Amino acid sequence: MSVSTANFKNGMCILYEGKRWVIVDFQHVKPGKGGAFVRTKLKELESGRVVDYTFRAGEKFEDVRIETKKMQYLYNDGDTFYFMDNTNYEQVELNAEFVGDQAKWLKDNDEVEVLTADGEYMGVEPPMFVELAVTETDPGFKGDTVQGGTKPATLESGAVVQVPMFVETGDTLRVDTRDGRYITRV
């Protein structure tokens, strides 16, 4: 099935230059002179890189059907991450390179979404917010909070986030996985 630039939507997946791309953002432009065009920001599913492309208005692309499966993250042994399909209890092994940066937000037994396209695994999406314990951070000193400063804190998953001065080792934090931002103590 083909899709035109007029039908673009954020989150849609297309086939372009033999690769699968997710439309992150797009904008239809009609200049005073010349033909209309569409500026897009595309994310390649295989590598995760984001690039800008400009297409002529009305250009057609192959539509790729993406499905998300809810799976439970079980554990990893360094090179391999193990997930369990919640519907049929089938276990899936995914390479650490495939999981990539998302691994720093995974905690044993968390529910994640695994993206598939044409029956092939394409990516792992952790929950939007995760709760992780602080394993290491510098101690805060009295008076540090006056300026509202931040300090780095290492979480149980290995991720490092900037936190307010009052956060201490052992605290459990809620973190936004989209940008690695501290939200609150739990």
Of the residues 10, 44, 63, which one is the last residue of a structural domain?
A: 63
At 91 the pLDDT is 92
pLDDT, one tens digit per residue, over 125-184 is 888 899 999 999 888 665 555 566 788 999 998 899 999 888 889 999 999 888 888 999
CA distances from 149 to 73, 136, 165, 185 (A): 35, 17, 6, 16
Number of domains in the chain: 3
The secondary structure of residue 128, as a DSSP letter, is: S
* Same domain assignment for residues 57 and 71: no
At 142 the pLDDT is 59
pLDDT, one tens digit per residue, over 63-100 is 888 888 899 999 988 889 999 998 899 999 988 888 88
Question: How buried is residue 124: exposed, middle or buried, by Cβ count under 10 Å (0-12/13-18/19+)?
Answer: buried
pLDDT, one tens digit per residue, over 2-39 is 899 999 988 888 999 988 888 889 999 998 888 999 99
Cα torsion through 116, 114, 16, 33, rounded to 10: 130
The secondary structure of residue 141, as a DSSP letter, is: -
pLDDT, one tens digit per residue, over 39-49 is 999 988 777 78
At 55 the pLDDT is 94
Identify which of 93, 92, 114 has the alpha carbon closest to the alpha carbon of residue 102: 114
Domain CATH number, residue 81: 2.40.50.140
CA distances from 76 to 8, 83, 107, 115, 147 (A): 37, 9, 10, 19, 40
CA distance 31 to 37: 8
Mean pLDDT of 101-119: 86
At 100 the pLDDT is 81
Task: Provide the domain limits for residue 8.
Answer: 2-63
* Same domain assignment for residues 74 and 86: yes
* Same domain assignment for residues 7 and 59: yes
At 84 the pLDDT is 93
Q: CA angle 36-22-82, nearest 5°? A: 175
